């Protein structure tokens, strides 16, 4: 059973990384802040909320690949098929999205901007059958399901989140990226934002065992990441597959199961029906919200979501955004810092 707890809020403005996220080895200097900038303006066909749509891509408030600033601007970094890229997105009052991008992958990022922001996502078939869902739909007309088309960047942090607390997984992600990632192209790589590009597949395979240990990552999760990185090209093909085939492709890698594959394809493929099973908290949240059953199992959750077949992930996401969850009656999952062993 996975230990990650869902964070159903709109991303708050990001903080710069804490001192525990700084590398122990000197980091490369960021590229020139005057690097060429490419721009694009995109007008969605329906209301779009950047924070709600892109929020699932952020792995904690100190994620080096994601920043949300107070004016609503969202910064994101990626390792695209054409190279590293930084993407800055700002929603204008008239509903348009103004995008700027830097780095070798800038053109790729801008070309795929509409898809990233949910242009292929159609919420029309979703019919709320519960007052909480109806209210959530009414209050969040700008929610779209994100679709990155990039598998490894969502798969690796999902593996890090297996069977540990959210804070532990987020800390590991920060440490590994600040140590082994690259400074983001353009202004995001400077001291104000300190954003990073995730390591390339070969770099993931070469991380020494003691660095995994220092980041709090046990041998099982580290080995799973290394196995995935070694077949990265094949896994990246899953972004163009139907959801069931994409999940099957990911689950061929030992250590990747239904929880991890669902968490990944929800982000990479924009899948409205791939609901997460095996989660420590989600069944209880869905069960409590829809039926007052705080002890719901995966089977109970799937039964409650059955009327939303084809849109079950959307239903679960909308429920999480309501903030309704059963009162805590058990202690939090115990944190285990293996770096101290």
Query: Residues 281-306: pLDDT tens digits?
Result: 999 999 999 999 999 999 999 999 99
Whether the predicted pLDDT of 9 surpasses 60: no
Binning pLDDT at 50, 70 and 90, where does residue 1 land? Answer: very low
Share of the chain above pLDDT 90, in %: 83
pLDDT above 90 (res 29): no
CA distance 285 to 295: 9
Residue 314's pLDDT is what? Answer: 98
Q: What is the pLDDT of residue 22?
A: 38
Q: Does the pLDDT of residue 25 top 80, yes or no?
A: no
Check residue 335 and give its pLDDT. Answer: 61
Greatest Cα pair distance in the chain: 56
pLDDT at 330: 59
- pLDDT grade, residue 57 (50/70/90)? very high
Nearest to 277 by CA among 302, 242, 295, 240: 302
pLDDT for res 191 = 87
On the question of pLDDT at 336 being above 90, the answer is: no
As a whole number of angstroms, the distance between CA 293 and CA 5 comes to: 18
The stretch 83-95 carries a mean pLDDT of 96
Q: How many helices (H) and strands (E) does the chain have?
A: 15, 7
Contacts of 162 (CB under 8 A, 6+ apart): 2, 3, 4, 221, 224, 259, 260
Q: Is the pLDDT of residue 151 over 50?
A: yes
Position 247 pLDDT exceeds 80: yes
Structure confidence by residue, pLDDT tens digits, 126-143: 999 999 999 999 999 999
Q: pLDDT higher for 328 or 7?
A: 328
Beta strands in 83-237 (DSSP E): 83-91, 97-102, 182-183, 196-197
DSSP structure string for 208-274: -HHHHHHTT--HHHHHHHHHHHHTHHHHHGGGGS-HHHHHHHHTTSTT--HHHHHHHHHHHS--SS-
Percent of the chain with pLDDT over 70: 86
pLDDT at 261 > cutoff 60? yes
Q: What mean pLDDT do residues 74-87 have?
A: 98
pLDDT for the residue numbered 34: 43
What is the rounded average pLDDT for all residues in the chain? 90
């Amino acid at each position: 059973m996975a230990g990650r707890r869902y964070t159903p809020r709109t991303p708050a403005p990001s903080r710069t990384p804490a001192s525990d996220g700084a590398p122990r080895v000197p980091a490369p200097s960021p590229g020139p802040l005057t690097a060429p900038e490419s721009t694009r303006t995109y007008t969605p066909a329906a209301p779009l909320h950047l924070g709600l749509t892109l929020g699932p891509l952020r792995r904690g408030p100190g994620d080096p690949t994601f920043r949300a600033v107070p004016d609503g601007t969202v910064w994101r970094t990626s390792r695209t098929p054409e190279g590293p890229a930084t993407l800055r997105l700002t929603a204008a009052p008239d509903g348009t999205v103004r995008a700027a991008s830097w780095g070798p992958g800038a053109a790729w990022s801008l070309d795929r901007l509409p898809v990233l922001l949910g242009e292929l996502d159609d919420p029309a078939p979703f019919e709320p059958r519960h007052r909480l869902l109806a209210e959530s739909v009414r209050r969040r007309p700008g929610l779209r399901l994100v679709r990155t088309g990039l598998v490894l960047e969502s798969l690796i942090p999902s593996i890090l989140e297996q069977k540990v607390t959210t804070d532990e997984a987020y800390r590991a992600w920060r440490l590994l990226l600040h140590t082994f990632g690259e400074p983001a192209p353009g202004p995001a790589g400077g001291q104000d934002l300190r954003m990073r590009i995730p390591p390339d597949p070969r770099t993931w395979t070469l991380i020494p065992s003691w660095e995994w240990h220092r980041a709090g990552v046990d041998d099982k999760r580290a080995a799973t990441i290394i196995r995935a990185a070694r077949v990265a090209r094949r896994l990246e093909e899953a972004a163009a597959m139907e959801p069931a085939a994409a999940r099957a492709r990911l689950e061929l890698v030992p250590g990747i199961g239904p929880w991890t594959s669902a968490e990944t394809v929800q982000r990479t493929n924009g899948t409205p029906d791939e609901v997460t099973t095996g989660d420590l908290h989600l069944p209880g949240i869905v069960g409590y919200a829809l039926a007052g059953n705080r002890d719901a199992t995966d089977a109970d959750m799937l039964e409650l979501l059955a009327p939303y077949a084809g849109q079950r992930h959307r239903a679960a996401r909308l429920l999480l955004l309501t903030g309704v969850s059963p009162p805590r009656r058990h202690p939090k999952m115990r944190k285990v810092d293996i770096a101290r062993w």
